[in-house]
Protein backbone atom coordinates (compact mmCIF):
# COMPACT_ATOMS: atom_id res chain seq x y z
CA UNK A 1 0.00 0.00 0.00
CA UNK A 2 1.10 3.57 -0.74
CA UNK A 3 1.71 6.03 2.08
CA UNK A 4 -0.30 9.28 2.13
CA UNK A 5 -3.14 7.55 0.32
CA UNK A 6 -5.19 10.70 -0.10
CA UNK A 7 -2.43 12.30 -2.21
CA UNK A 8 -2.13 9.61 -4.90
CA UNK A 9 -3.51 10.89 -8.22
CA UNK A 10 -3.19 9.06 -11.54
CA UNK A 11 -4.71 9.61 -14.96
CA UNK A 12 -5.64 7.84 -18.15
CA UNK A 13 -5.39 10.22 -21.08
CA UNK A 14 -6.75 8.74 -24.34
CA UNK A 15 -7.09 10.52 -27.67
CA UNK A 16 -10.70 10.31 -28.94
CA UNK A 17 -9.68 9.21 -32.42
CA UNK A 18 -11.11 5.69 -32.17
CA UNK A 19 -12.67 3.17 -29.81
CA UNK A 20 -10.90 1.95 -26.67
CA UNK A 21 -8.51 -0.72 -27.87
CA UNK A 22 -6.77 -3.41 -25.84
CA UNK A 23 -3.53 -1.42 -25.40
CA UNK A 24 -5.39 1.61 -24.06
CA UNK A 25 -7.54 -0.59 -21.87
CA UNK A 26 -4.38 -2.14 -20.42
CA UNK A 27 -2.94 1.27 -19.51
CA UNK A 28 -6.25 2.45 -18.06
CA UNK A 29 -6.57 -0.71 -15.99
CA UNK A 30 -3.12 -0.40 -14.39
CA UNK A 31 -3.80 3.23 -13.49
CA UNK A 32 -7.19 2.25 -12.06
CA UNK A 33 -5.72 -0.65 -10.05
CA UNK A 34 -3.01 1.58 -8.60
CA UNK A 35 -5.54 4.27 -7.65
CA UNK A 36 -7.96 1.82 -6.07
CA UNK A 37 -5.24 -0.07 -4.22
CA UNK A 38 -3.80 3.15 -2.78
CA UNK A 39 -7.13 4.79 -2.04
CA UNK A 40 -6.15 7.51 -4.52
CA UNK A 41 -7.88 9.35 -7.36
CA UNK A 42 -8.27 8.08 -10.92
CA UNK A 43 -8.71 10.83 -13.50
CA UNK A 44 -9.94 10.58 -17.08
CA UNK A 45 -8.38 13.27 -19.26
CA UNK A 46 -9.24 13.53 -22.95
CA UNK A 47 -6.34 14.55 -25.20
CA UNK A 48 -8.38 15.88 -28.12
CA UNK A 49 -5.96 18.29 -29.77
CA UNK A 50 -5.94 16.29 -33.02
CA UNK A 51 -8.77 18.38 -34.42
CA UNK A 52 -9.15 16.44 -37.66
CA UNK A 53 -9.56 12.99 -36.06
CA UNK A 54 -11.01 13.67 -32.60
CA UNK A 55 -14.78 13.33 -32.17
CA UNK A 56 -17.24 13.41 -29.29
CA UNK A 57 -18.58 10.07 -30.52
CA UNK A 58 -15.19 8.45 -30.02
CA UNK A 59 -14.88 10.09 -26.60
CA UNK A 60 -18.19 8.51 -25.59
CA UNK A 61 -17.14 5.16 -27.04
CA UNK A 62 -13.95 5.23 -24.97
CA UNK A 63 -15.94 6.04 -21.83
CA UNK A 64 -18.39 3.24 -22.60
CA UNK A 65 -15.51 0.81 -23.12
CA UNK A 66 -14.01 1.76 -19.76
CA UNK A 67 -17.38 1.32 -18.06
CA UNK A 68 -17.75 -2.10 -19.71
CA UNK A 69 -14.40 -3.09 -18.20
CA UNK A 70 -15.52 -1.77 -14.81
CA UNK A 71 -13.01 1.10 -14.75
CA UNK A 72 -14.81 3.98 -13.07
CA UNK A 73 -13.11 7.38 -12.75
CA UNK A 74 -13.31 10.04 -10.05
CA UNK A 75 -12.72 13.15 -12.15
CA UNK A 76 -13.26 13.66 -15.87
CA UNK A 77 -15.11 15.52 -18.61
CA UNK A 78 -18.47 14.10 -17.56
CA UNK A 79 -17.88 14.33 -13.80
CA UNK A 80 -15.93 17.54 -13.38
CA UNK A 81 -13.48 18.05 -10.52
CA UNK A 82 -11.24 20.68 -8.97
CA UNK A 83 -8.56 20.42 -11.67
CA UNK A 84 -10.67 20.75 -14.83
CA UNK A 85 -11.44 21.26 -17.56
CA UNK A 86 -10.59 17.67 -18.50
CA UNK A 87 -10.47 18.07 -22.28
CA UNK A 88 -7.26 19.51 -23.67
CA UNK A 89 -9.18 21.48 -26.29
CA UNK A 90 -10.72 23.43 -23.39
CA UNK A 91 -7.31 24.18 -21.79
CA UNK A 92 -5.63 26.08 -24.63
CA UNK A 93 -5.27 29.30 -22.65
CA UNK A 94 -3.30 27.42 -19.98
CA UNK A 95 -0.86 26.01 -22.54
CA UNK A 96 -0.43 29.46 -24.07
CA UNK A 97 0.15 31.03 -20.62
CA UNK A 98 3.06 28.78 -19.65
CA UNK A 99 4.58 28.80 -23.15
CA UNK A 100 4.65 32.60 -23.06
CA UNK A 101 6.19 32.48 -19.59
CA UNK A 102 9.05 30.38 -20.96
CA UNK A 103 9.26 32.76 -23.92
CA UNK A 104 9.68 35.75 -21.58
CA UNK A 105 12.29 33.90 -19.54
CA UNK A 106 14.31 33.19 -22.67
CA UNK A 107 13.76 29.45 -22.38
CA UNK A 108 11.72 29.30 -25.58
CA UNK A 109 11.54 31.13 -28.90
CA UNK A 110 8.98 31.88 -31.56
CA UNK A 111 9.16 30.29 -34.99
CA UNK A 112 6.38 31.71 -37.07
CA UNK A 113 3.22 31.11 -35.10
CA UNK A 114 4.84 28.24 -33.18
CA UNK A 115 6.54 28.43 -29.78
CA UNK A 116 9.56 26.17 -29.39
CA UNK A 117 11.30 25.09 -26.16
CA UNK A 118 15.04 25.69 -26.26
CA UNK A 119 17.02 22.62 -25.18
CA UNK A 120 20.31 23.65 -23.56
CA UNK A 121 23.48 21.54 -23.56
CA UNK A 122 24.40 19.37 -20.62
CA UNK A 123 21.10 19.44 -18.71
CA UNK A 124 20.41 16.29 -16.71
CA UNK A 125 17.13 14.79 -17.89
CA UNK A 126 17.50 11.49 -16.00
CA UNK A 127 14.58 10.08 -14.07
CA UNK A 128 13.71 7.20 -11.78
CA UNK A 129 11.23 4.72 -13.20
CA UNK A 130 9.26 2.60 -10.74
CA UNK A 131 9.45 -0.37 -13.14
CA UNK A 132 12.76 0.08 -14.99
CA UNK A 133 14.85 1.82 -12.33
CA UNK A 134 17.14 4.75 -13.04
CA UNK A 135 17.05 5.97 -16.66
CA UNK A 136 20.16 8.09 -17.24
CA UNK A 137 19.79 10.88 -19.80
CA UNK A 138 21.37 14.22 -20.69
CA UNK A 139 19.74 16.87 -22.86
CA UNK A 140 22.49 16.19 -25.38
CA UNK A 141 20.82 12.83 -25.95
CA UNK A 142 18.13 14.74 -27.86
CA UNK A 143 20.66 15.69 -30.55
CA UNK A 144 19.80 14.91 -34.14
CA UNK A 145 21.77 12.03 -35.61
CA UNK A 146 25.01 13.18 -37.24
CA UNK A 147 24.90 16.83 -36.10
CA UNK A 148 25.90 18.83 -33.06
CA UNK A 149 22.55 20.59 -32.99
CA UNK A 150 20.25 19.83 -30.07
CA UNK A 151 16.70 18.97 -31.03
CA UNK A 152 14.44 21.65 -29.55
CA UNK A 153 10.90 20.73 -28.54
CA UNK A 154 7.91 22.37 -30.20
CA UNK A 155 5.40 23.32 -27.50
CA UNK A 156 2.71 25.22 -29.41
CA UNK A 157 2.25 24.37 -33.08
CA UNK A 158 1.47 26.87 -35.80
CA UNK A 159 -2.25 26.07 -35.51
CA UNK A 160 -2.22 27.03 -31.83
CA UNK A 161 -2.49 23.46 -30.57
CA UNK A 162 -0.03 22.11 -27.98
CA UNK A 163 2.18 19.12 -28.68
CA UNK A 164 1.93 15.97 -26.61
CA UNK A 165 5.25 16.36 -24.77
CA UNK A 166 4.38 19.89 -23.67
CA UNK A 167 0.67 19.59 -22.91
CA UNK A 168 1.01 16.51 -20.72
CA UNK A 169 3.57 18.32 -18.53
CA UNK A 170 1.22 21.27 -17.99
CA UNK A 171 -1.79 19.00 -17.40
CA UNK A 172 -0.05 16.54 -15.11
CA UNK A 173 1.33 19.35 -12.94
CA UNK A 174 -1.90 21.36 -12.71
CA UNK A 175 -3.94 18.21 -12.11
CA UNK A 176 -1.52 17.25 -9.29
CA UNK A 177 -0.69 13.89 -10.86
CA UNK A 178 1.62 11.96 -8.54
CA UNK A 179 2.34 8.95 -10.77
CA UNK A 180 2.40 8.78 -14.56
CA UNK A 181 1.70 5.17 -15.54
CA UNK A 182 1.89 4.58 -19.30
CA UNK A 183 3.33 2.34 -21.98
CA UNK A 184 7.02 1.62 -22.44
CA UNK A 185 6.96 3.44 -25.80
CA UNK A 186 6.80 6.71 -23.85
CA UNK A 187 10.19 6.22 -22.15
CA UNK A 188 11.87 8.12 -24.99
CA UNK A 189 9.48 11.05 -24.46
CA UNK A 190 10.12 11.33 -20.74
CA UNK A 191 13.54 13.12 -20.89
CA UNK A 192 11.97 15.90 -23.01
CA UNK A 193 9.22 16.27 -20.44
CA UNK A 194 11.72 16.28 -17.57
CA UNK A 195 13.50 19.22 -19.23
CA UNK A 196 10.23 21.18 -19.43
CA UNK A 197 9.50 20.42 -15.76
CA UNK A 198 12.95 21.74 -14.86
CA UNK A 199 12.47 24.88 -16.96
CA UNK A 200 9.18 25.62 -15.19
CA UNK A 201 10.79 24.77 -11.82
CA UNK A 202 8.21 22.07 -11.15
CA UNK A 203 8.81 18.68 -9.50
CA UNK A 204 8.05 15.86 -11.96
CA UNK A 205 5.68 13.08 -10.91
CA UNK A 206 6.93 9.53 -10.47
CA UNK A 207 7.06 7.60 -13.73
CA UNK A 208 6.14 3.95 -14.23
CA UNK A 209 6.37 2.58 -17.76
CA UNK A 210 4.55 -0.64 -18.55
CA UNK A 211 6.35 -3.29 -20.66
CA UNK A 212 5.25 -3.87 -24.23
CA UNK A 213 2.56 -6.37 -25.15
CA UNK A 214 3.62 -8.75 -27.93
CA UNK A 215 1.73 -11.20 -30.10
CA UNK A 216 2.52 -14.92 -29.83
CA UNK A 217 5.02 -14.41 -32.66
CA UNK A 218 6.89 -12.01 -30.29
CA UNK A 219 6.19 -9.06 -32.57
CA UNK A 220 4.59 -5.82 -31.41
CA UNK A 221 0.87 -6.25 -30.79
CA UNK A 222 -1.24 -5.33 -33.78
CA UNK A 223 -4.81 -5.90 -34.96
CA UNK A 224 -3.98 -9.35 -36.24
CA UNK A 225 -2.82 -10.31 -32.72
CA UNK A 226 -5.92 -9.00 -31.01
CA UNK A 227 -5.18 -5.29 -30.52
CA UNK A 228 -8.69 -4.29 -31.40
CA UNK A 229 -11.54 -2.54 -29.64
CA UNK A 230 -12.67 -3.96 -26.30
CA UNK A 231 -16.12 -4.14 -27.89
CA UNK A 232 -14.81 -6.72 -30.36
CA UNK A 233 -14.18 -8.99 -27.39
CA UNK A 234 -17.65 -8.33 -26.02
CA UNK A 235 -19.08 -9.28 -29.42
CA UNK A 236 -17.00 -12.47 -29.45
CA UNK A 237 -18.60 -13.50 -26.16
CA UNK A 238 -15.91 -12.58 -23.65
CA UNK A 239 -16.92 -11.29 -20.24
CA UNK A 240 -15.66 -7.90 -19.02
CA UNK A 241 -14.40 -9.63 -15.86
CA UNK A 242 -12.32 -11.98 -18.02
CA UNK A 243 -10.80 -9.21 -20.14
CA UNK A 244 -10.03 -7.29 -16.93
CA UNK A 245 -8.43 -10.42 -15.40
CA UNK A 246 -6.43 -11.17 -18.56
CA UNK A 247 -5.18 -7.59 -19.05
CA UNK A 248 -4.08 -7.42 -15.42
CA UNK A 249 -1.84 -10.45 -16.02
CA UNK A 250 -0.08 -8.75 -18.95
CA UNK A 251 2.94 -7.39 -17.12
CA UNK A 252 1.86 -8.13 -13.55
CA UNK A 253 1.41 -11.14 -11.32
CA UNK A 254 -0.62 -11.43 -8.12
CA UNK A 255 1.91 -13.97 -6.88
CA UNK A 256 1.92 -17.76 -6.82
CA UNK A 257 0.09 -19.68 -9.54
CA UNK A 258 -3.12 -17.65 -9.27
CA UNK A 259 -4.43 -16.74 -12.72
CA UNK A 260 -8.18 -16.35 -12.19
CA UNK A 261 -9.28 -13.58 -9.84
CA UNK A 262 -11.93 -10.92 -9.29
CA UNK A 263 -11.53 -7.15 -9.58
CA UNK A 264 -11.57 -6.85 -5.78
CA UNK A 265 -8.82 -9.45 -5.42
CA UNK A 266 -6.70 -7.64 -8.04
CA UNK A 267 -7.15 -4.30 -6.23
CA UNK A 268 -6.05 -5.85 -2.93
CA UNK A 269 -2.98 -7.54 -4.41
CA UNK A 270 -1.82 -4.87 -6.87
CA UNK A 271 1.46 -2.98 -6.60
CA UNK A 272 3.65 -1.30 -9.21
CA UNK A 273 6.65 -3.07 -7.70
CA UNK A 274 5.22 -6.36 -8.98
CA UNK A 275 5.05 -5.11 -12.58
CA UNK A 276 7.32 -7.33 -14.67
CA UNK A 277 9.95 -5.65 -16.86
CA UNK A 278 9.96 -8.10 -19.73
CA UNK A 279 7.35 -7.86 -22.53
CA UNK A 280 4.10 -9.78 -22.10
CA UNK A 281 2.55 -12.06 -24.70
CA UNK A 282 -1.09 -11.70 -25.71
CA UNK A 283 -2.07 -15.36 -25.55
CA UNK A 284 -5.60 -16.18 -26.74
CA UNK A 285 -5.38 -19.65 -25.18
CA UNK A 286 -4.87 -18.10 -21.77
CA UNK A 287 -7.66 -15.58 -22.38
CA UNK A 288 -10.01 -18.41 -23.34
CA UNK A 289 -9.04 -20.40 -20.23
CA UNK A 290 -9.69 -17.38 -18.00
CA UNK A 291 -12.98 -16.56 -19.69
CA UNK A 292 -14.18 -20.14 -19.36
CA UNK A 293 -13.35 -20.11 -15.65
CA UNK A 294 -15.28 -16.88 -15.11
CA UNK A 295 -18.32 -18.12 -17.06
CA UNK A 296 -18.35 -21.30 -14.97
CA UNK A 297 -18.38 -19.25 -11.74
CA UNK A 298 -21.31 -17.04 -12.80
CA UNK A 299 -24.72 -17.26 -11.15
CA UNK A 300 -27.08 -19.14 -13.52
CA UNK A 301 -29.28 -16.18 -14.48
CA UNK A 302 -26.26 -13.91 -15.14
CA UNK A 303 -24.77 -16.61 -17.36
CA UNK A 304 -28.08 -16.85 -19.22
CA UNK A 305 -28.14 -13.07 -19.75
CA UNK A 306 -24.65 -13.34 -21.26
CA UNK A 307 -25.51 -16.21 -23.64
CA UNK A 308 -29.06 -15.29 -24.64
CA UNK A 309 -28.09 -12.53 -27.14
CA UNK A 310 -25.98 -15.04 -29.06
CA UNK A 311 -28.89 -17.50 -29.30
CA UNK A 312 -31.06 -14.67 -30.58
CA UNK A 313 -28.39 -13.72 -33.13
CA UNK A 314 -28.51 -17.36 -34.34
CA UNK A 315 -32.25 -16.96 -34.94
CA UNK A 316 -33.26 -19.41 -32.21
CA UNK A 317 -36.76 -19.11 -30.64
CA UNK A 318 -35.51 -18.25 -27.14
CA UNK A 319 -38.92 -16.81 -26.26
CA UNK A 320 -40.45 -20.31 -26.45
CA UNK A 321 -38.49 -21.49 -23.39
CA UNK A 322 -38.58 -20.31 -19.79
CA UNK A 323 -35.53 -18.60 -18.32
CA UNK A 324 -35.42 -21.27 -15.61
CA UNK A 325 -35.18 -24.03 -18.24
CA UNK A 326 -32.52 -22.20 -20.26
CA UNK A 327 -30.45 -21.39 -17.18
CA UNK A 328 -30.58 -25.06 -16.16
CA UNK A 329 -29.53 -26.06 -19.68
CA UNK A 330 -26.45 -23.85 -19.44
CA UNK A 331 -25.69 -25.31 -16.01
CA UNK A 332 -25.59 -28.74 -17.67
CA UNK A 333 -22.93 -27.43 -20.07
CA UNK A 334 -20.58 -27.37 -17.05
CA UNK A 335 -18.12 -24.93 -18.53
CA UNK A 336 -18.18 -26.26 -22.10
CA UNK A 337 -17.50 -23.38 -24.45
CA UNK A 338 -14.78 -20.85 -23.71
CA UNK A 339 -16.87 -17.86 -24.74
CA UNK A 340 -20.56 -17.01 -24.47
CA UNK A 341 -20.76 -17.27 -28.26
CA UNK A 342 -19.24 -20.76 -28.28
CA UNK A 343 -21.49 -21.81 -25.41
CA UNK A 344 -24.52 -20.64 -27.39
CA UNK A 345 -23.37 -22.62 -30.43
CA UNK A 346 -22.73 -25.78 -28.39
CA UNK A 347 -26.13 -25.60 -26.69
CA UNK A 348 -28.48 -24.67 -29.55
CA UNK A 349 -30.30 -28.03 -29.27
CA UNK A 350 -31.70 -26.99 -25.87
CA UNK A 351 -33.51 -24.09 -27.53
CA UNK A 352 -34.72 -25.74 -30.73
CA UNK A 353 -34.84 -29.09 -32.50
CA UNK A 354 -34.22 -27.49 -35.92
CA UNK A 355 -30.38 -27.31 -35.64
CA UNK A 356 -30.36 -30.99 -34.63
CA UNK A 357 -32.29 -32.01 -37.75
CA UNK A 358 -29.88 -30.00 -39.92
CA UNK A 359 -26.87 -31.82 -38.43
CA UNK A 360 -28.11 -35.39 -38.14
CA UNK A 361 -30.28 -37.55 -40.40
CA UNK A 362 -29.76 -41.04 -38.89
CA UNK A 363 -28.46 -42.36 -42.23
CA UNK A 364 -25.70 -44.17 -40.33
CA UNK A 365 -28.18 -46.52 -38.63
CA UNK A 366 -28.46 -50.05 -40.11
CA UNK A 367 -31.69 -52.10 -40.07
CA UNK A 368 -30.23 -54.40 -37.41
CA UNK A 369 -29.30 -51.41 -35.23
CA UNK A 370 -32.76 -49.93 -35.71
CA UNK A 371 -34.38 -53.04 -34.21
CA UNK A 372 -32.21 -52.80 -31.10
CA UNK A 373 -32.64 -49.05 -30.78
CA UNK A 374 -36.45 -49.21 -30.97
CA UNK A 375 -36.53 -51.79 -28.21
CA UNK A 376 -34.08 -49.77 -26.11
CA UNK A 377 -35.85 -46.43 -26.53
CA UNK A 378 -39.26 -48.02 -25.82
CA UNK A 379 -37.97 -49.21 -22.46
CA UNK A 380 -36.35 -45.84 -21.71
CA UNK A 381 -39.57 -43.95 -22.41
CA UNK A 382 -41.52 -46.34 -20.19
CA UNK A 383 -39.22 -45.77 -17.18
CA UNK A 384 -41.65 -44.85 -14.38
CA UNK A 385 -39.38 -42.39 -12.58
CA UNK A 386 -38.03 -39.73 -14.98
CA UNK A 387 -34.81 -39.15 -13.11
CA UNK A 388 -31.16 -39.47 -14.09
CA UNK A 389 -30.35 -42.46 -11.84
CA UNK A 390 -33.52 -44.38 -12.78
CA UNK A 391 -33.00 -43.85 -16.52
CA UNK A 392 -29.36 -44.88 -16.28
CA UNK A 393 -30.34 -48.03 -14.36
CA UNK A 394 -32.99 -48.89 -17.00
CA UNK A 395 -30.38 -48.48 -19.76
CA UNK A 396 -27.81 -50.57 -17.93
CA UNK A 397 -30.22 -53.44 -17.21
CA UNK A 398 -31.51 -53.46 -20.81
CA UNK A 399 -28.01 -53.51 -22.35
CA UNK A 400 -26.88 -56.38 -20.07
CA UNK A 401 -30.05 -58.36 -20.72
CA UNK A 402 -29.76 -57.96 -24.49
CA UNK A 403 -25.97 -58.28 -24.66
CA UNK A 404 -25.63 -54.88 -26.34
CA UNK A 405 -22.95 -52.39 -25.34
CA UNK A 406 -24.57 -49.37 -23.76
CA UNK A 407 -22.62 -46.90 -25.91
CA UNK A 408 -24.16 -48.50 -29.05
CA UNK A 409 -27.52 -47.14 -27.89
CA UNK A 410 -26.36 -44.05 -25.99
CA UNK A 411 -24.56 -42.53 -28.97
CA UNK A 412 -27.58 -42.65 -31.33
CA UNK A 413 -29.63 -41.18 -28.44
CA UNK A 414 -27.10 -38.36 -28.15
CA UNK A 415 -27.24 -37.65 -31.88
CA UNK A 416 -31.04 -37.77 -31.96
CA UNK A 417 -31.36 -35.26 -29.13
CA UNK A 418 -28.39 -32.94 -29.80
CA UNK A 419 -27.06 -33.64 -33.28
CA UNK A 420 -23.60 -33.65 -31.73
CA UNK A 421 -20.97 -36.25 -30.90
CA UNK A 422 -20.06 -34.54 -27.63
CA UNK A 423 -22.53 -33.18 -25.08
CA UNK A 424 -23.22 -33.17 -21.34
CA UNK A 425 -24.40 -36.48 -19.83
CA UNK A 426 -27.10 -37.75 -22.17
CA UNK A 427 -29.48 -38.82 -19.39
CA UNK A 428 -29.14 -35.39 -17.77
CA UNK A 429 -30.30 -33.96 -21.11
CA UNK A 430 -33.15 -36.48 -21.28
CA UNK A 431 -34.35 -35.44 -17.82
CA UNK A 432 -34.25 -31.74 -18.68
CA UNK A 433 -36.04 -32.27 -22.00
CA UNK A 434 -38.77 -34.28 -20.32
CA UNK A 435 -40.48 -37.42 -21.56
CA UNK A 436 -42.55 -35.78 -24.33
CA UNK A 437 -39.75 -33.75 -25.96
CA UNK A 438 -37.48 -36.80 -25.86
CA UNK A 439 -40.26 -38.85 -27.48
CA UNK A 440 -40.83 -36.20 -30.16
CA UNK A 441 -37.19 -36.17 -31.22
CA UNK A 442 -36.90 -39.95 -31.26
CA UNK A 443 -40.08 -40.22 -33.34
CA UNK A 444 -38.60 -37.86 -35.93
CA UNK A 445 -35.82 -40.39 -36.59
CA UNK A 446 -38.30 -43.33 -36.46
CA UNK A 447 -36.45 -44.65 -33.43
CA UNK A 448 -39.79 -45.47 -31.80
**Domain count of the fold of the chain:** 4
Half-sphere exposure at residue 431, Cβ-oriented, CA atoms within 13 angstroms: 16
Residues 6+ apart with CB under 8 A from 355: 316, 348, 349, 419
φ/ψ of 179, rounded to 5, equals: -140, 125
Domain that holds residue 183: 91-210
CA-CA distances (angstroms) from residue 406 to 118, 332, 338, 372? 85, 22, 30, 11
Which CATH number is 434's domain given? Answer: 1.10.10.350
Residue 366 lies in a domain: yes
Residues 245 and 390 grouped into a single domain: no
Rounded to the nearest 10 degrees, the angle between the axes of helix 406-418 and helix 367-381 is 80
Do residues 416 and 362 lie in contact, with contact meaning Cβ atoms separated by under 8 Å? yes
Structural domain contains residue 269: yes
Asked if residue 222 and residue 206 are part of one domain, the reply reads no
Instruction: Identify whether 286 is part of a domain.
Output: no
From 234, 252, 281, give the residue that closes a domain. 281
Contact (CB, 8 A) for 444 and 349 = no
pLDDT above 70 for 420: yes
Give the mean pLDDT of 105-110.
Answer: 98
Based on the domain organization, do 111 and 205 belong to the same domain?
A: yes
Residue 2 — very low, low, confident or very high, per pLDDT cuts 50/70/90?
very low
Burial code of 233-254, b = ≥16 C-beta within 10 A, e = fewer? bbeebbbbbbbbbbbbbbbbeb
Q: Are residues 197 and 95 in the same domain?
A: yes
Weakest-pLDDT range from 159-173, 180-194, 209-223, 342-356:
209-223
Residue 5 has pLDDT above 50, yes or no: no
* Closest to 325 measured CA to CA, from 438, 434, 441: 434
223 is catalytic: yes
pLDDT in tens, 175-233: 999 999 999 999 999 999 999 999 999 999 999 999 999 888 888 877 666 658 898 99
Residues of the chain with pLDDT > 90: what percent? 90
Can you tell me the mean pLDDT for 299-327? Answer: 97
The verdict on residue 408 lying in a domain is: yes
| Count of other CB atoms within 10 angstroms of residue 268 | 13
Residue 81's SS3 state is: coil
Residue 6 CB: number of other CB atoms within 10 A?
A: 9
Both 222 and 266 in one domain: the answer is yes
User: Of 226-230, 341-345, 408-412, where does mean pLDDT reach its minimum?
Assistant: 226-230
- Looking at 5, 67, 176, 223, which residue is catalytic? 223
Strands 108-111 and 114-117: antiparallel
Q: What is the pLDDT of residue 86?
A: 98
Same domain, 78 and 226: yes
CATH number, domain of 165, equals 3.40.50.620
Nearest to 302 by CA among 330, 322, 321: 330
Domain boundary among 337, 352, 367: 352
- Whether residues 251 and 304 fall in one domain: no
Residues belonging to the chain: 448
Residues 6+ apart with CB under 8 A from 216: 225, 281, 282, 283, 284
Higher pLDDT, residue 219 or 69:
69
Question: Quick one: which of 301, 46, 341 has its CA closest to 168?
Answer: 46
Say if residue 421 is in the same domain as residue 341.
no
Q: What is the dihedral of CA 221, 226, 230, 235, to 10 degrees?
A: 170
Give a yes or no: residue 347 inside a domain. yes
Residue 289 lies in a domain: no
CA distance 238 to 288: 8
Whether residue 292 lies inside any domain: the answer is: no
Same domain, 263 and 410: no
Of 160, 184, 210, which one is at a domain's C-terminal end?
Answer: 210
Contact 89, 47 (CB under 8 A): no
- Given a cut of 90, whether residue 146 has pLDDT beyond it is no
What pLDDT, in 10s, does the model give residues 242-279? 999 999 999 999 888 899 999 999 999 999 999 999 99
Per-residue DSSP letters for 82-144?
TT---BGGG-HHHHHHHHHHHHHTTSEEEETTEEEE---TT-B--EEETTTEEE--BGGGGBP
For 154-200, give the DSSP string. Answer: EEE-TTSPBPHHHHHHHHHHHTT--EEEEEGGGTTTHHHHHHHHHHT
Is 240 in the same domain as 136? no
Tell me what the mean pLDDT of segment 76-90 comes to. Answer: 97
Same domain, 111 and 183: yes
Residue 340 lies in a domain: yes
- 122/204 same-domain check: yes
CA distances (Å), 141 to each of 137, 167, 190, in order?
A: 7, 21, 12
CA 244 to each of CA 31, 76, 115, 258, 320: distance values in angstroms, whole numbers, following the listed order: 13, 21, 41, 15, 34
Measured CA to CA, the distance from residue 288 to residue 294 in angstroms comes to 10
- The chain-wide mean pLDDT, for the chain, equals 94
Q: How far apart are CA 261 and CA 253, in angstroms?
A: 11
Amino acid sequence: MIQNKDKVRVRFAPSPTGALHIGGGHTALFNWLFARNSGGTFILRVEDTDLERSTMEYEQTIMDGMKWLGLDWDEGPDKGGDCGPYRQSERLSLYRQYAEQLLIEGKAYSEGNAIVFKVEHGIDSSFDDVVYGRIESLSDGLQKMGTDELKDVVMIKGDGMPTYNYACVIDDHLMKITHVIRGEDHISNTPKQVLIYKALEWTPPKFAHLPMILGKDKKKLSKRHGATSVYDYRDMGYMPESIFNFLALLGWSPGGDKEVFTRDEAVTLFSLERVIRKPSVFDFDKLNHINQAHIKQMPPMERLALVKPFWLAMGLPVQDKSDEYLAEALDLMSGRGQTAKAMAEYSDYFVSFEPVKSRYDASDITNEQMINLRAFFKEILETPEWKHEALEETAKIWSERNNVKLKECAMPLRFALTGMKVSPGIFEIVVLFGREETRRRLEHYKFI
